[in-house]
Structure 1
């Protein structure tokens, strides 16, 4: 009961004091960096079949050979977040989930060359990586990739990188999923994921106002346990930038991974506010799955979870 009280108090404190900031695309640039910057930024194709080696890397500036290994099914691009890298346990966890039952082609954008350092530096580099990512997607489409089969998922800063694929191309990305997109309050001027970046943009919020974005930014926004820390099993206050400190932020990834393996594990309810959801006072009883199988819904959705372990 005490934990629930702390959760509610923190949530209302956060929502009362955080001011909504509206960002425009005037801070976005699709200009390509020089070749030195692009070195070691790669698309990593996951075979998902226990072969050795398990992955194949392709330069993001010359990914055309990737078309030779893609199967005739949807192509999921995953983009990790701040301070992460391909071998990170959290990244490996979501990649294993995406590979589950081999339903899709799975590709990781490896931007680890630029994902570590001060947040301000990494943020600006992420915007440049975003323009590279958009170009890489365009080169694949020019080489025959069916646009209708593209699906992009990004966590933290990776969510904002995802948006460049829509901003910087003249074709429409069918779907982008943002997993607790990084909070622009840390760096107020920049280029962020928006609902206009794809035909359908869904966002899972788990750490609003701390490491996650405070505002709704998708076609559909899903709030786990109100979307704020502490998520069940996580702590409210931790050593800054520690694994425990990222617990609630990382929970968005865990929830998505669970949704891939167990699509009906979490059911979200459309509601105007979290308080109405908790009071079972939602005027629209539209229910939907979250994450992997979610589709074609609009508005704000809330759902509850217990402790979810990776």
Structure 2
């Protein structure tokens, strides 16, 4: 895996140093949509180029906050990890939840998809500019996994640039993709502090599929710098660990689970190796309710409930009826 990472970084440097088109699959804003969850069973697509139509779409409410979820490399709107996240937000019933449908622009050769994250983020920012600025700067939260996390960060950077300095309130990076980012690439800097008023990262496969950098405002390292999470074994250990960031965030979205993950503050990055020197006096919540800045070591369980602070009497499991589609109801 380390050899593959090295080779991807070399390819990225080569691609980004050329003056030719960086990707053979060029993103087109006209082919991207926001897929708005209307209820547990129904959704509707709104083109990015007509994002203002959201304001008159039944099921979208300006009295609610909006979460935009961006999936990772190789995913599509019909084949992604967005389903469990959508179910958790449906259980909350207090959020406009949308998934970015980026068509085939992240379903291609990895380095091309990585380069495309910047353009896709700009398109999403341009779409948000079609909405009321005061609403967007108070209520829009962009959440992304892997390459989707890099799109989320680019969205925040471009929104600030194109709006003349206005910021999104929050960007959450779920194990932001590591290859092609955070290695001196000025064109692909990666999600980081400053992309929104608050940038929180949940890091679960550091140094492999996900970054090991503490570049957010709130940096939450589940089990520290161990790249493989408890409960992930065998040939699936790396993708399982990379996915865990989504699993932890999803668990934290359910109303009864928002306090399930508590991280201990680490004064130095090296403390993340064991977490023993990280203080239990200064702590912060990881996931949906995150709000604090700093570097945190978070203990997790190998299976659901993943959060160590979960209350067994009130815990909502991912297979609960809450938020699920029931066509017979």
Q: TM-score range by the shorter chain?
A: 0.7 to 0.9
Contact 1:77–1:109 (CA under 8 A) maintained in structure 2: yes
Closer, same or farther in 2 for the Cα pair 1:227/1:258, shift >3 Å? farther
Gaps of 5+ in 2: 1-15, 18-25, 305-317, 319-329
Q: Secondary structure at the match of 2:144?
A: strand
Write out per-residue CA displacement over residues 122-175 of structure 1, whole angstroms, 9 at most, x where no aligned residue.
Answer: 112222111111101111236x74420111111111111112232223311111
Determine if contact 1:67/1:145 at 8 Å carries over to the other structure.
Answer: no
Structure 1, unpaired ranges of 5+: 1-25, 28-34
2:315 matched residue in structure 1: none
1:184-211 CA-partner distances (Å, limit 9, x unpaired)? 4579532421201111100000001111
C-alpha distance after superposition, 1:94-113 (max 9, x if no partner)? 12112222121111111132
- Partner residue of 1:197? 195
**Aligned counterpart, 1:101:** 92
Q: Which moved more, 1:250-259 or 1:211-220?
A: 211-220
RMSD between aligned residues? 2.5
Residue 57 (structure 1) aligned with residue 45 (structure 2): yes
CA distance in 1, matches of 2:178, 2:272: 25
Pair 283,269 (structure 1): closer, same or farther in 2 beyond 3 Å: closer
In 1, are the aligned partners of 2:117 and 2:154 still within 8 Å (CA)? no
Structure 1 distance, partners of 2:230, 2:27, is 43
TM-score, length-scaled by structure 2: 0.74
Q: Supply the distance in 1 between the matched residues of 2:272 and 2:48 (Cα, whole angstroms).
A: 45
Spell out the pairing of 1:32-51 with structure 2 (5 A cutoff).
37-50=28-41
Alpha-carbon spacing, 1:199–1:98, altered in 2? closer, same or farther (3 Å) = same
Q: Note closer, same or farther for the CA distance 1:266–1:135 as it changes in structure 2 (3 Å cut).
A: same
SS at match of 2:31: coil
- Provide the residue aligned with 1:92 in structure 2: 83
Residues 252 and 36 (structure 1 numbering): CA distance in 2 closer, same or farther, change over 3 Å?
closer
Q: Do residues 111 (structure 1) and 102 (structure 2) align?
A: yes
Q: 1:9-38, CA deviations, whole angstroms, 9 ceiling, x for partnerless residues? A: xxxxxxxxxxxxxxxxx99xxxxxxx9822
Q: TM-score, normalised by structure 1?
A: 0.79
Shift of 1:179: 0.4
Q: Is the CA contact (8 Å cut-off) linking 2:261 and 2:287 kept in structure 1?
A: no
Partner in structure 2 of residue 17 of structure 1: none
Distance 2:303 2:181 in 1: 27
